[in-house]
Amino acid sequence: MEAQRVKKHTCGTICLKYLLFLFNILFWLAGGAVLAVGVWTMVEKSDYISLLNSGFYATSAYILIAAGVVVIVTGIIGCCATLNEMKSLLIVYLILLFCIFLLEIIAGVLAYINYQELDEELKQNLKVTMQQKYQQPGEESITQAVDKLHQEFKCCGSHNFSDWSDSVWIQAAENERLVPDSCCKTPSELCGRRDHPSNIYKMEGGCIMKLEEFILSHLYILGAVGIGIAFLQLLGMMFTCCLYQNLKEELY
């Protein structure tokens, strides 16, 4: 009977080890995905940071990068603890999983709150930024970001193309354009002199709406990824507790 009991515990421990190891592989891959999204955000979308007065966009990218690194390191610790059956390391791993789980909840709440503030900031400041800073000395980053925004989202102006009529740059005496050349569907030198719908993004809507949709879609994606990782973490914590208990019982 005693031999049968030990065999049962050993079999259970082996199953838990492989389940937890599989979980750690998935957790590690999820961390890599989060890290990749953070790096992509900084590399591909960093131009838009200059259009926002707050550091929300840049901070979000740095948080994603840090979170990805922490998740990857935690996954490595979990693999080491599982394969070597180190109870002390399993406890460390369990604490790390719980801390990351709590941070995800806090980050989700803060992201929702900050998005509301960011939405208001876009509406209040993007139009003024475009009109006052586009093509002005020392504002090269703003100019580049606005041009990229026009072309990438196929829009013109903050709310619509008519916003440019009050632009400092457009009102300059030597300027022949009605809108920036980047508003044109096929950009070329001085193409902004014609504001006909066949030439510029006139009927497609303003850039605020497009940028809001872009940010919101990414928040949805990050939210879905966060929920998936949180579910994995709950499974991981359960497997870790079971494995720790089995290892503890096999000592007696």
Lowest mean pLDDT across 7-11, 202-206, 220-224, 236-240: 7-11
* pLDDT at position 8: 46
Residue-averaged pLDDT of the chain: 78
* pLDDT greater at residue 186 or residue 56: 186
* pLDDT at position 126: 83
Instruction: Report yes or no: 250 and 243 within 8 Å, Cβ to Cβ.
Output: no
Token couple for 115: 């998005």
- 200 pLDDT band (50/70/90 cuts)? confident
Is the pLDDT at 160 greater than 80? The verdict is: yes
CA–CA gap between residue 10 and residue 4 (Å, rounded): 10
- Output the pTM of the full model: 0.66
Is the pLDDT at 15 greater than 70? The verdict is: yes
What mean pLDDT comes out for the span 162-181? 83
* pLDDT at position 27: 78
Position of tokens 């850039």?
207
* pLDDT at position 67: 80
Give percent of the chain with pLDDT exceeding 90.
1
pLDDT in tens, 127-146: 888 888 888 888 888 898 89
What mean pLDDT comes out for the span 96-114? 75
Instruction: Report yes or no: 27 and 239 within 8 Å, Cβ to Cβ.
Output: no
Token couple for 166: 């009050």
* pLDDT at position 195: 76
Is the pLDDT at 2 greater than 60? The verdict is: no
* pLDDT at position 3: 42
- 116 pLDDT band (50/70/90 cuts)? low
pLDDT in tens, 52-76: 665 666 677 777 788 888 888 888 8
Is the pLDDT at 7 greater than 50? The verdict is: no
How many CA atoms, within 13 angstroms, populate the side-chain half-sphere of residue 53?
Answer: 14
